Amino acid sequence: MQKIKILVWPKKNVYFCLALVILLILLITLISLQFRIMEDTFDATGKTIVIDPGHGGIDGGTHTDRLLEKDINLEVSKKLRNLLTDMGYQVILTRDEDIALDHLSDTGKNRHQRDLNARVQIINNSNAQLFLSIHVNCNFKNPSASGSIVFYGDRFSENKELAYAIQRALNAIEINGKKRTVHDPVLSNRYYLLNHSKIPGAIVEVAFISNTTECRMLEGSAFRDELAKAIAEGVSKYLIQLEKTKSN
């Protein structure tokens, strides 16, 4: 009959492992507490954020029979402005009504170009910490496409960090207990605002109007509230982490 060997650890090894686990738990708790304290004491006074509601006026953006992108962009942007203002940030909207901005610029070969130049001018003259351009996504060739996608450029190293902070917050949104499609932010050099801005920024495509479920949710104010809250959370965490990095 084969004897079963039982391995018994010396007590000092067991105590060492327990001490190591306890130390690790304390370290994680300390780091978490430090970050929460940073969140509680972070002073947003004097920090400015530009919010650009995409399209407007004659330019309705993408649309369905019932929804125009320009209207969704504006409402989400206003909700986001209110949240950030409550946090103590100064907020500049490139537009706060249903208008195009081409009349604010005299440079550009056409109305669309003048509109984009006007938005860039507002961003570059703002002395802000960052800008966000709010949009609605669309892919009628792939109606199953869903979720929020944040686009960023490589003009500033901070762009990537900002995009990831916002993307993580948007990915965490749950609808009826279910998470939406999870995306990574996308590096892109095709956006005029990202290529010509003098401050860090991101393009936030909040949802797909071409997706039946998301289109229906976009019709209601509750989903727009959730989108604005997530973006505000991402922006705040990015700025807190940026401040923490500078202080170290």
DSSP per residue over 89-130, as a string?
-EEEES-SSS---GGG---SSSHHHHHHHHHHHHHHTTT-SE
Q: Tell me the average pLDDT across 24-33.
A: 58
- Look at residue 38 and tell me whether its pLDDT is greater than 90: no
In the CATH scheme, what is the code of domain 44-247?
A: 3.40.630.40
- Are 228 and 80 a contacting pair, CB within 8 Å? yes
Query: What pLDDT does 17 receive?
Result: 62
- Are 185 and 169 a contacting pair, CB within 8 Å? no
- Min mean pLDDT across 64-68, 96-100, 129-133, 182-186 is at 64-68
Q: Tell me the average pLDDT across 78-103.
A: 97
Name residue, tokens 């956006």.
191
- Look at residue 162 and tell me whether its pLDDT is greater than 80: yes
The letter for the amino acid at 155 is R
In a 10 Å sphere around its CB, with 0-12 CB exposed, 13-18 middle and 19+ buried, how is residue 21 labelled?
A: exposed
Query: What pLDDT does 18 receive?
Result: 67
Q: Tell me the average pLDDT across 210-219.
A: 96
Of 164, 161, 167, 169, nearest to 205 (Cα)?
A: 167
- Min mean pLDDT across 31-40, 120-129, 143-152, 224-233 is at 31-40
User: Domain-by-domain residue ranges, the chain?
Assistant: 9-42, 44-247
- Min mean pLDDT across 30-34, 57-61, 74-78 is at 30-34
CA dihedral 166, 169, 175, 176 (to 10 degrees): -170
Query: What pLDDT does 35 receive?
Result: 47
Stated pTM of the model: 0.83
- Taken in order 160, 59, 115, 140, the sign of the CA dihedral is positive
- Are 232 and 80 a contacting pair, CB within 8 Å? yes
